[in-house]
Amino acid sequence: MPAGPPPRAPGTSGGCLAVLDPATCETFDEAPDQRPDELDAIVGRAHAAWRGWRADPAARTTALLAAADAVEAAGADLAPLLTREQGKPLAESYAEVARTAARLRYFAELGPETQPITDGRPVRSEIRWRPLGPVAAIVPWNFPLQLASAKFAPALAAGNTMVLKPSPFTPLATRLLASVLVSALPPDVLTIVTGREPLGARLASHPGIRHVTFTGSVPTGRAVARAATASLAPVTLELGGNDAAILLEDVEVERIADRLFWAAFRNCGQVCMAVKRLYAPARLYSQVVEALAQRAKSAVVGSGLDPGSQLGPVSNAPQLARVEHYTALALADGARAVAGGHRLDRPGYFFAPTILADVPPDSPVVTQEQFGPVLPVLPYVSLDGAIEAANDTGFGLGGSVWGTDLDRAEAVAGQLECGTAWVNHHAETSLAQPFAGVKDSGVGVAGGPWGLYGNLSPFVVHRPVEV
């Protein structure tokens, strides 16, 4: 049996959230467990701050660029804290800090454009874009800073203010980020609130909120959407995924194996658009399974603070329990763990990188989002069957196709039902691209100019050409 105390969700002690280090299971700090009724005053202040913040786009650009510099300068404080509470290797935490700064810079320079309406009538009409007001943001624990910045950078650049709630598992780096941003942003433009439910539910339904933007699981996304009906605030939902990768007959297995492995296992597989199911041609099946198993067995798993670690622990106890459960179900249904398949016998929420072969296609590890360091590999005989299987899911976040003939691979990628498809890559995104899931994976569009306009409402002015 693995060592370490039994898994538990974040607890509270005296109005505080206890924060655990997933590499040790030990509480190392705490954050305020704020009460939902505190939101009235907080949202009120966000509304008051909005008046000044929306008025001066040039001042906003200056402030957001200064914010980016401040984030970058605080990397040596932010990154270790992020690793401590979330578990990911330190280099990935630094990368997350860098992406947070990059996103601030990108949106700082991106203003909405006034657009003329030309329809032949003798009127001059134009669309000006206006900010909405205080925005509520709720984010998960897998990329706390990056996902927070994906919310506040476009919202603030558009002239809104924001109240943002991180996951109770990972409140600390986000709170530190807020204290870093104090030097650059006016008071109450961005407020971080921390606490257990129903804090998020209350935030999503608060009457002073004009837009709710959420990233997290599908069930919570539905709850958030329901909560927002109270104020009729529009919602943007970035939800879960169960991305498939399809290997084509002409794929060079050894050439892509490293990239494919990390597309599934980076951040312990706790990436919304990680490869979560892999379809390989039957002829190549054993070779693919072996190549991935070899990488899984040689991946260095350890505390994210140890510079040698390539994979940290699973981030929290409920997540570890989910990974263990789905893996156990698959093994009970006849799957083979060619690598891993179990917790590691040491303190902390460590799970061995796992490659599952011979998995029944209807096993939950294939059909659900397991969100952990586990990859089921499934053989296919007909490519049409593989495409059908890839699309046979309620999720629709991302997908990828891997092969040597890039045109053919792109044509197959074009048949995937998802928001982003890659050829010979997975999960690489650009700040300038729209980011959206189809089916249950999301509502609305984030990223790029679309993310900015999602935080604005059109204001149309008509006037006659002549008096």
Q: For the window 126-165, what string marks contact with ligand NAD as x by the rule CB under 6 A?
A: ------------xxxxx----x-----------------x
As measured in angstroms, the least distance from the Cβ of 335 to ligand NAD is 22
Interface region with ligand NAD, contact rule CB under 6 A, candidates 20-28, 37-45, 82-90, 234-242: 234-242
Q: Which stretch binds ligand NAD (CB under 6 A): 51-59, 69-77, 109-117, 210-218?
A: 210-218
β-partners of residue 143 are: none
CB of 128 to ligand NAD, least distance (A): 30
Rounded CA separation 450/155 (Å): 11
Asked if residue 204 binds ligand NAD (CB under 6 A), the reply is yes
The least distance separating ligand NAD from the CB of residue 214, rounded to whole angstroms, comes to: 7
User: Does residue 224 belong to the site contacting ligand NAD (CB under 6 A)?
Assistant: yes
Please identify which residue in 102, 223, 305, 443 interacts with ligand NAD, judged by CB under 6 A. Answer: 223
Q: Which of 30, 92, 96, 238 is catalytic?
A: 238
Q: Is the Cβ of residue 272 or residue 356 nearer to ligand NAD in the bound state?
A: 272
Backbone phi, psi, residue 252, to 5°: -95, 105
Q: Are 17 and 33 in contact (CB under 8 A)?
A: yes
Of the candidates 418, 438, 420, 440, which has an alpha carbon nearest to the alpha carbon of residue 430?
420
Closer CB to ligand NAD, 200 or 313, in the complex: 200
Using CB under 6 A, pick the residue from 167, 191, 303, 370 that binds ligand NAD. Answer: 167
438 binding ligand NAD? (CB under 6 A): no
Check binding of 215 to ligand NAD (CB under 6 A): yes
Write the CB contacts of 447 (distance below 8 Å, at least 6 apart in sequence): 150, 429, 430, 431, 432, 433, 434, 435, 436
Furthest C-alpha separation in the chain: 84
Letters for 168-187 (x = contact with ligand NAD by CB under 6 A, - = none) are: x-------------------
Q: Rule CB under 6 A: choose which of 91, 98, 201, 329 binds ligand NAD.
A: 201
Pairing type for strands 115-117 and 123-131 reads antiparallel
In the complex, least distance from residue 309 CB atom to ligand NAD, rounded to whole angstroms:
22
Q: How far is the CB of 442 from ligand NAD (least distance, A)?
A: 6
Size of the site for ligand NAD (CB under 6 A): 30
Cβ atoms of 279 and 402 within 8 Å: the answer is no
Question: In whole angstroms, what is the distance from residue 424 CA to residue 253 CA?
Answer: 11
Choices 44-52, 200-208, 298-306, 340-348 (CB under 6 A): range interacting with ligand NAD = 200-208
Determine, following the binding rule CB under 6 A, whether residue 220 of this chain makes contact with ligand NAD: yes
Q: Give me the active site residues, please.
A: 238
Q: Which residues bind ligand NAD (CB under 6 A)?
A: 138-142, 147, 165, 167-168, 197, 200-201, 204, 215-217, 220, 223-224, 227, 238-241, 272, 369, 371, 397, 437, 442
